[in-house]
Amino acid sequence: MCETRKERDSMGEMTVPAEALYGAQTARAVENFPISGMGFPRPFIRALGMIKQGAARTNLELGLIHRERAMAIMEASEEVITGALDEHFVVDIFQTGSGTSTNMNANEVIANRAAGLLGQAAGGRPVHPNDHVNLGQSSNDVIPTAMHVSAAVEIRHTLVPALFAIQEGFGEKALAFDDIIKIGRTHLQDATPVRLGQVFSGYARQVSQAIRRLEAALEDLYELPLGGTAVGTGINTDPAFAAKVIEGIAEVTGLPFREATNHFEAQGARDGAVAASAALKGCAVALFKIANDIRLLGSGPRCGLGELILPPVQPGSSIMPGKVNPVMTESLIQVCAQVIGNDAAVTLGGLAGNFELNVMMPLLAHNILQSVELLGRAVTQFNLRCLQGLEADRDRCESLVEQSLAMATALAPAIGYDKAASIAKKAWETGKTVRQVAGEEGVLEAEQLKRILDPRPMTEPGIPGKTKREA
């Protein structure tokens, strides 16, 4: 039997493990919400520690709390920031929709740890979780603030750098593959030629646009609800409190956090979080498209498209010897699917802004932070284990171009659409190339036909077979 102690809250006594730093309200939440076994992730707990530390410092500056007590709270909060007290954060994600249980979890842990730093036992309340640690705050402004801070920090400092790395990687491949001509494909059917480098330049641009949208979404996350307390009015907080705390958070994180322009919007709605999730979903959609293209272009190695050669990273089959699968692309597209699903839940969560408070904030925070973490890790692994070692099969690319019936497209300006279509059809029926059929039918002089069916000019604007001035 483990040793226990008694803790009290406004509803009475609760028994907690003797070594636990949390108190009665946390213990009630543990009993009430044994739902998923998932707690708030480390970035969120770190953000809570930042808020509590900044609050204690600010309340000390404002003369609202004794110095010794404030310093103990700040020291305990630092341990929350570093993760030293993570084992004491025990409340499930699926809890009260305001996140009050987790805010009180933080308040109780910090209060009891601060008491220990002051040489007193946990539970005696020389540092009170509400009166001292939560001074000038409400769960209703602390939890969304922690959500914004943690999401913004993780997007800006983890995900965006990972995306910049693969944008650079795609750009390097675009240059390396620029002279390789391959067949384009639309509707999964042959289309006119394109340079492989052009394809990869498109991937680089997709990632660049995803980064731009994420950075735009960050602007809303930089607005913090702290200072609104219960319903946005700021009751029970000093008017200077929020700005001072937020200034400290901005300095620590290096991000331009600021107090919300309108606390009623900032507290009653979670539109900024919804927009951030939408940007994450958009990023996932782009990455899914890219990863899917790469695995299809690398299909084979002998009986598929085979235009790309993906790095082999592990055996692909428990029954087929020698098989190698595109596992890094498959991992990435599964992550993208999860992020898209997370966004659906965030969208529903955003609808739950009832009057002055959203009541699905733990779900919002969990899904957004999971999306950021999954994307950041998957993108990094994809870059290291697939993109950097990706190669092209030049011979395969160029041989498929010559075999394509879409080569007849270049003939249309010179001989007309119907005649070009007839040549393509005959090429299909006879198994010959468009070049062979066109030559046999004598539709153009040999030199002109050679010039028009040169695939390189087909990858640029203009009319095949003519100079730019002629065109």
What are the residue numbers of the active site? 187, 317
Plot region of 190 (φ>0 → left; ψ -120 to 50 → alpha; else → beta): beta
Longest dimension (CA), the chain: 100
Q: Where are the beta strands (DSSP E) in 211-321?
A: 223-224, 258-259, 308-309
Rg from Cα positions in the chain: 30
SS3 annotation, 339-383: HHHHHHHHHHHHCCEECCEECCHHHHHHHHHHHHHHHHHHHHHHH
Q: Which of 139, 151, 135, 166 is nearest to 53 (CA)?
A: 135
Alpha-carbon separation of residue 94 from 45, 71, 151, 280, 369 (angstroms)? 16, 33, 19, 22, 15
Alpha-carbon separation of residue 369 from 35, 184, 423 (angstroms)? 19, 38, 56
Give the Cα separation of 105 and 48 in Å (integer): 10
Instruction: Please name the residues in contact with 217: beta carbons below 8 A apart, sequence gap of 6 or more.
Output: 155, 272, 275, 276, 278, 279
298 in Cβ contact with 265 (< 8 Å)? no
Give the Cα separation of 141 and 264 in Å (integer): 11
| Bridge partner residues of 315 (DSSP) | 324
